[in-house]
Amino acid sequence: CLNGGSCVRHEYFPTYSYCLCPKGFSGRHCETDTRTQCYEDNGEDYRGTATLTESGKECLWWNSNHVAQKFYSAYNSDALQLGLGKHNYCRNPDRSKKPWCYVRRRGYITYNYCDIPKCDSNPDDSVYSNAFKQFIGSCFVKVKSDKFFRGASTSDPPPGTQSPSKQFPKLDSPMYCKLKKLNKKKKLGPKQRLFFDLLVLSASSCGQRKFKIFKIVGGERAALESQPWIAAIFQYNHRMKRDFFSCGGSLIDSCWVLTAAHCFPDYFPRNDFSVILGKSALNETDAHKEQRFQVERIVLHPEYDDSNDSYNNDIALLKLKSTAGKCALETNYVRPVCLPPEGLSLKDGWQCEIAGYGKEKYSHWYYSQKLKEATIELISQETCKTEDYYGSKITDNMLCAGHPQWKVDSCKGDSGGPMVCEKDNRMILYGIISWGDGCGKKNKPGVYTRVTRYNTWIQQNVNQGVGPS
């Protein structure tokens, strides 16, 4: 069930279930947004209920016999992801210029663009969230020093500069960007990095992706744009004289990747490790999408404990080696994930996503090669601490998640990778793939590092750029 819907199983027919949708959503999987009145960008993510074209014609149903033989219909294998189904709502499955639908005209089936307005973009918002793409200049933020809104103070805004506090009501203090619009080509010189507080989610494009995941099945090959924060960590083998895939990770800032501490044994130097962002397959290289970096520093959590295979505090930061103060460049294939607000607790059964290049079965000797993703559900701490599950091995720094039928799980090679959950229309890094008993075994779900326990530690190391390696 999508968009916060709850899966309800029939009391007398346990094999039958349906989605109980929250207010504002409908459809078999809660995939239809009944409140939206406009579309953003080109409308490929539009999931509203408009059914009229610009010519005033009513849209044909996507599951009708007239549409069944067309390239896009409700019978496509990826129909749910494209927003198609048993309805006649306008959609944009081919990434055209705006949402459209099939109509009947003079005895033929053709398509028309739909009569839907484009959402108004607030100029201040676009300046603030897309400053890297549209403007040059320096940006300053002054925010409250409460539990997770932290930042560097600055002087009062210059005359004529409007404070965006109305757009961002949670931020009481002034906040402005001193920017120059770039009207002509100009040699800018060395790139300068703009620093934002990692935890101010509204202040960056973290957790946003080109492709949203509108599906509920697990173990599918992932479109790279749906997991743009995924990092592939490689280790150099001196005997074989080549790099081998080691672990996964998550890009949380231009120069920082968050991963699992157990991926870095003491006897391997940091120079042996490198990180590739934007990689969709281990056995393929795409220079147009990939960004490769050497690791400048490895910061393990000081209380990481791997004694007795407990993996408590299984978290580490990798600082990427930068060029002119900048590391990862934001694209559709490379984008940071949001860190969760401190103390955030999602309810049991909340659906989240895992992604990685790990084994598809525990018995396999090889990795999957292709980036894969799956949907799992959070399991209560009380359940995971029972003797049927993991008992006392589970600490407050860990969380458990799995598939209700134990068909989907993280596995060897996925370690360090992301478990992301949608919150307020952004993907947040709620867990780090850590350990488990086998893969997909009943009552033995995957165990993840609980990221919300480490906000302060992450913030201090990223802001200071130092720490023991």
Judge whether 338 and 415 are in contact, CB under 8 Å: no
> Which string of DSSP letters, residue by residue, matches 403-419?
-TTS-----TT-TT-EE
Q: Which fold has domain 226-335+456-464?
A: Thrombin, subunit H (2.40.10)
Q: 211, 203, 214: which is closest to 228 by C-alpha?
A: 211
Q: 87, 101, 106, 93: which is closest to 32 by C-alpha?
A: 87
The catalytic site residues sit at 262, 314, 415
Beta bridge pairs of residue 180: 136
pLDDT tens, the chain, 469 aa long: 877 777 776 655 666 677 888 777 888 888 788 888 899 888 988 999 999 999 999 999 999 988 888 889 998 888 888 889 889 999 999 888 999 999 988 788 888 999 999 987 544 333 333 333 333 333 333 333 332 222 222 333 333 333 333 333 333 333 333 333 344 443 444 433 333 344 434 345 687 765 544 332 334 455 788 899 999 999 998 888 889 898 999 999 999 999 999 999 876 888 899 999 999 888 888 888 999 999 999 999 999 987 776 789 999 999 999 877 779 999 989 999 999 988 899 999 999 999 888 655 444 434 456 788 888 899 999 999 999 999 999 999 999 998 776 555 455 557 899 999 998 888 999 999 998 876 667 788 889 999 999 999 999 999 876 444 4
Residues carrying CATH 2.40.10.10, the chain: 226-335+456-464, 351-453
Q: 61, 40, 57: which is closest to 115 by C-alpha?
A: 57
| Strand positions, DSSP E, 218-262 | 220-221, 230-237, 242-253, 256-259
CATH fourth-level superfamily of 351-453: Trypsin-like serine proteases (2.40.10.10)
Given 1.10.10.10, 3.40.50.300, 3.20.20.150, 2.40.20.10, which CATH number is that of 36-120? Answer: 2.40.20.10
CB burial of 41-58 (b: ≥16 within 10 Å; e: otherwise) equals eebbbbbbbbbbbeeebe
Residues carrying CATH 2.40.20.10, the chain: 36-120
